Chains A and B, each alone.
Chain A
Amino acid sequence: MLVGPLIALLLSVVAGGIFILSIGQNPIEVYTRFIGDSLGNAYGIGQILFKATPLMFTGLAAAICFKANLFNIGAEGQMTIGAFLTGLVGSYFQGLPGWILLPASLVAGMAGGAAWGIIPGYLKARFGAHEVINTIMMNFIAMGVVSYFITNIVGVPATVHTPEISPSTTLARLESFFPVFHGSPVNLSFFIAVVICLGAYIFLTRTPRGYEIRALGLNAPAAEYARIPIRKNIIITFALAGACAGLGGMNFILGYKHYFELGFSEGSGFIGIAVALLARNNPIGIIVTSLFFGMLEYGSLTINTIVPKELSNILQAIVILLMITLTKVLGGWIERKRSPEPTNA
């Protein structure tokens, strides 16, 4: 089971090395600096945890849909809308105490993301419309809508962010508990993300609804036979996925800058797809793979003076392509080793 991901990782490291060579740098030197600066000190590790946090949410957003054989390319837009609402609620209700405001902002985020996911989900369920194209369209629409509101209505003038949130709803940074993480923005959101991943795992494997979603994803006609309501489950799946993505902003907004800013996500909606695939859509695996991609993100910054940081984007894409080919190739190899049944011998 782990062979595929490990080979994919290995090959991407090699691919990265080739890119580094092609621009005349020494891969060993680059990788050493990469690992040293990111893993070698607590600040670096803190950064990795910080960058991994939203990836857990977007990874879940992709994985939950993949389990139902649905393609959610809209985590970026779902996260934007959810984060925007989180920032709005957090900043609008300045007087409320934390134990009300914090859950309220999070619920707002989930609701926004869920709504953004339900729209393409409904179009798919009701009309059979291509959720790939629709979720991508929703990404563009999210940017436009939020951009309008920030520019014209709620944004702080001359900036692209919302007003600061109430202090009662901020999430403390880890450095206040563990001084060793001083300077890095990693905060309590990280633990919330881990808990949500665990919850997603239990949901998918141990509840009837999770069973229905998985059955639907593996064999839709059989799900129909089993009286599993297909349309309802498509919409529920997209709602849950969108809600997860909608929480993705809490890391930046509640735990770091304390406001919502356009472009904060830096593409983590799409990286979530790689996170999910490398973890083979297993929520527990997503905790691990998001850490890996977080390291890739941060590490590429540490070597930015030598190698353009876009190398990390290239490697993310290579991981995706490698994962899908390897799972296929290895899966076929394993099938041939067991005894397959030809349907008419």
Chain B
Amino acid sequence: MVAVEMQHITKHFGHVLANHDVDFHVSEGEIHALVGENGAGKSTLMHILYGLYQPDSGSIAIREHSVSIPSPSQAIGLGIGMVHQHFMLIPPLTVLENIILGNEPVTGVGILDLAHAEEQIKTLLERYHVDVDLHARIETLSVGIQQRVEILKLLYRNANILILDEPTPVLTPQETDALFETLHGLQAQGKTIILITHKLHEVMAISNSVTVMRRGKVIATCPTTQTSHTELSRQMVGHELALLPPLSGEPSHEPGLVLEGISALNDRHLPALRDVSLSIAKGEILGIAAVEGNGQSELVEVITGIRKPTEGRIIIDGINASSADQMPPISHIPEDRQKRGLVLDFTLKENLLLGRQHENAFHGMLLFHDRSVEKFAETTLRTFDVRPPDSRRRCRNLSGGNQQKVVIGREMTKDSHLIVAAHPTRGLDIGAIDFVHRTLLKERSRGKSILLVSSDLDELMTLSDRIEVMFGGRIVLTRKTRETTLRELGQYMTGTASS
């Protein structure tokens, strides 16, 4: 029985063709991986299946009945459920409230019947061996548990077809194992699972069939046993990607950045960093591995001067930088380029000035020097391959990869010796990711100190000379990259390592 059959699906967003005559089918009871790099069209396709978008043309059949899905309500009614990449959970509400929202059991005039709901959900918890405190507020729960709540939402609505959109980037290796165990359990109960991912080793590990998409089209569909990691990679990208050169040369012994005993509070005035000390040599890349919420964001903010530490010293290039006035220039690639790194409604030229608006080269006594700014903009946009290299274009109209290149162009041309890169390849397609990696390696060979924070452990292992793990606001592990493993990193990231 074919659980899901989508035929000739086409979807435009303005001029962008997100899905182009896509045929996609999933057999009942299988775990089907939908694979492709960022921007390939996989999420769009599944959003159409879940009723959040409407296709321009094409048809959908569920369990061999032709259907129309104009909104998520219909999808839910058909037994389709979706766990989104960015969790759709409401932080100040409880687990129970989040699960029943939209399908609330009520008495009489619309009064919530919470007791009944609790009973129902407890049954689910038992059947699927999941353990969650129903009255906890979402904002107090870890990412791994929040994901379980998302899955519970689907099961509460008797979903038989579960779509999971990139479920693993936010999980440690151990949490990923736990998730896969849950998925196998669901499969055993007859559920059909569609897994959107770009992590090929996961595809090989857990899926029964796989569909590859690239640039809005389906490239191939086949049983997982009949394909391989390299084959899928080639289909995803369309060509062989040259491997990154291995790290060449050793870092110097000169320290570029030193942190001594740094402690800091987060936005809620709770301790985020506890007595953190580290040092990065010139010509070295130090990778920081951590599960979201363990202090790595605050670490970046303290080093770049956005957040004041409560204790400790920061020494950059030999200068004590603990007071904001004395901050030497630092190159900072922020973790959310649209929120922090760019002003989307500014032109590219104006964005290249962000954080650099006071540099003497750019202005005279009172006003900006239009000519010097323009020249800088033209040169930088060309050097860093921003497309289109039009300095008057509004940043909003550029693709994610090009926007990141604007940020990188601005930051790498600063007169700085320290680079702080936070999740620099998030949301980028493979070409842009490669560009970022090569840029970081180039800066390393030019003797810069680089702090790399990333949730992609593969990226960290490839680029870093050394890796440190943060947990609970402390550094709990320091290793040379070649002397550690993904498994070991995962254990320390979740605090489950035996010391």
As a 0/1 sequence over residues 13 to 32 of chain B, the CB contacts with chain A under 8 angstroms (1 = contact) are 11110100000000000000
**Is A342 among interface residues, defined by CB-CB distance under 8 A?**
yes
**Contact pick for B13, options A206, A219, A340, CB 8 Å:** A340
A210 CB to nearest chain B CB (Å): 9
Q: Is the CB of A341 within 8 A of B343?
A: no
As a 0/1 sequence over residues 384 to 423 of chain B, the CB contacts with chain A under 8 angstroms (1 = contact) are 0000000000000111100000000000000000000000
**Contact pick for B354, options A226, A335, A338, CB 8 Å:** A226
**Contact pick for A208, options B165, B324, B363, B398, CB 8 Å:** B363
**Is B57 among interface residues, defined by CB-CB distance under 8 A?**
no
Interface residues of B in 446-469 (CB under 8 A from A): none
Q: Could you tell me the distance between the alpha carbons of A218 and B400 in the complex, rounded to whole angstroms?
A: 19
**Contact pick for A219, options B38, B40, B85, B339, CB 8 Å:** B339
**Contact pick for A345, options B41, B85, B334, B368, CB 8 Å:** B41
Report A-chain residues with C-beta under 8 Å of the C-beta of B344. 218-219
* A340 and chain B: residue at smallest CB distance: B14
Q: Which among B85, B332, B346, B427 has the highest number of chain A CB atoms within 10 Å?
A: B346
- Total chain A interface residues with beta-carbon distance under 8 A: 28
Interface residues of B in 317-343 (CB under 8 A from A): 324, 327, 332, 334, 339-343
Q: Is the CB of A211 within 8 A of B353?
A: yes
**Contact pick for B339, options A222, A338, A342, CB 8 Å:** A222
A329 CB to nearest chain B CB (Å): 17
Q: Could you tell me the distance between the alpha carbons of A344 and B43 in the complex, rounded to whole angstroms?
A: 6
A contacts with B: majority SS: helix
Given the known inter-chain contacts A338-B15, A342-B44, please indicate yes or no for A208 contacting B357, CB distance below 8 A: yes
Q: Is the CB of A207 within 8 A of B341?
A: no
**Contact pick for A215, options B44, B343, B398, B400, CB 8 Å:** B343
Q: Could you tell me the distance between the alpha carbons of A338 and B16 in the complex, rounded to whole angstroms?
A: 9
**Contact pick for B368, options A206, A219, A224, A336, CB 8 Å:** A206
Report B-chain residues with C-beta under 8 Å of the C-beta of A344. 38, 43-44, 85, 165, 427
- Total chain B interface residues with beta-carbon distance under 8 A: 45
Q: Is the CB of A222 within 8 A of B14?
A: no
A240 CB to nearest chain B CB (Å): 15
Report B-chain residues with C-beta under 8 Å of the C-beta of A195. none
**Is A267 among interface residues, defined by CB-CB distance under 8 A?**
no
Q: Is the CB of B16 within 8 A of A222?
A: no
Q: Is the CB of A345 within 8 A of B15?
A: no
A113 CB to nearest chain B CB (Å): 23
Q: Could you tell me the distance between the alpha carbons of A336 and B397 in the complex, rounded to whole angstroms?
A: 12
**Is B367 among interface residues, defined by CB-CB distance under 8 A?**
yes
Q: Could you tell me the distance between the alpha carbons of A211 and B357 in the complex, rounded to whole angstroms?
A: 8
The 7 closest A-B pairs by CB, nearest first: A226-B355, A339-B15, A225-B340, A344-B43, A206-B367, A219-B343, A339-B14
| Chain A to chain B contacts (Cβ below 8 Å), 27 pairs | A206-B367, A207-B363, A208-B368, A212-B357, A215-B354, A218-B343, A218-B346, A219-B339, A222-B339, A222-B340, A222-B342, A222-B343, A225-B304, A225-B306, A225-B332, A225-B341, A226-B355, A335-B14, A338-B14, A338-B15, A338-B397, A339-B13, A339-B15, A341-B400, A342-B16, A345-B18, A345-B41
**A-binding residues in B (CB < 8 A):** 13-16, 18, 38-41, 43-44, 85, 165, 216, 304-306, 324, 327, 332, 334, 339-346, 350, 353-358, 363, 366-368, 397-400, 427
